[in-house]
Amino acid sequence: MFDKYGPKWLVIPGFLITTIILFVFTRITTATTAITIALLHTTLLIGIAMIRMPAQTNGLNQLPRDLYPSGTAVMSTLQQIAGAIGTAIAVSIMSAGQNVYLAGVSNPSDPVVMSEALTAGIQDAFVFGLVASAIGLVTAFFIKRATFTTNNEMTKH
């Protein structure tokens, strides 16, 4: 599909899927079943796959072939750094949301309240992901396809 339609027509639906699923994740409760969460997570990963592979391939296509190994190394490094930063931000948001919830209840040591607090924090963290995905969706409309001509000069479509 990437070769036939280019990255934009995979990345945009991928971001639509992730944005919708992340919105649904912001609505989870303590009553949400494990199977529902597993199905949502699986669908989220399908959307992420639709984003990452075409975007990375298109990014590498911007480079001359002799720079592919360096481009791959840079993208892998940035992916690890962004993943670590994103995780740290999400966990910080989750902890803050949990603390805010616990500050507003009369018995914060009650196990039911602790579960509800954790869920509230998780919902807040998914709002962060939802905003990031929505920004990605908007920027996906500006993706340009990069290809090489027979004499190895790059052209954009």
Tokens 């971001």 identify what position? 15
The 10s digit of each residue's pLDDT in 19-50 is 999 999 999 999 999 999 999 999 999 999 99
| Identity of the amino acid at 80 | Q
Q: DSSP code of 110?
A: -
The model's confidence at residue 149, banded by pLDDT at 50, 70 and 90, is very low
The residues spanned by each domain of the chain are 2-156
The model's confidence at residue 153, banded by pLDDT at 50, 70 and 90, is low
The 10s digit of each residue's pLDDT in 113-141 is 999 999 999 999 999 999 999 999 999 99
**Euclidean distance between CA atoms 32 and 36, whole angstroms:** 7
Q: DSSP code of 28?
A: -
Give the burial string for 103-113 (b: 16+ CB within 10 Å, else e).
eeeeeeeeeee
The 10s digit of each residue's pLDDT in 52-102 is 999 888 888 888 889 989 999 999 999 999 999 999 999 999 999 999 999
pLDDT at 154 over 70: no
pTM, two decimals, is 0.85
Which ranges in 1-155 belong to alpha helices (H)? 2-5, 8-25, 34-61, 68-103, 111-140
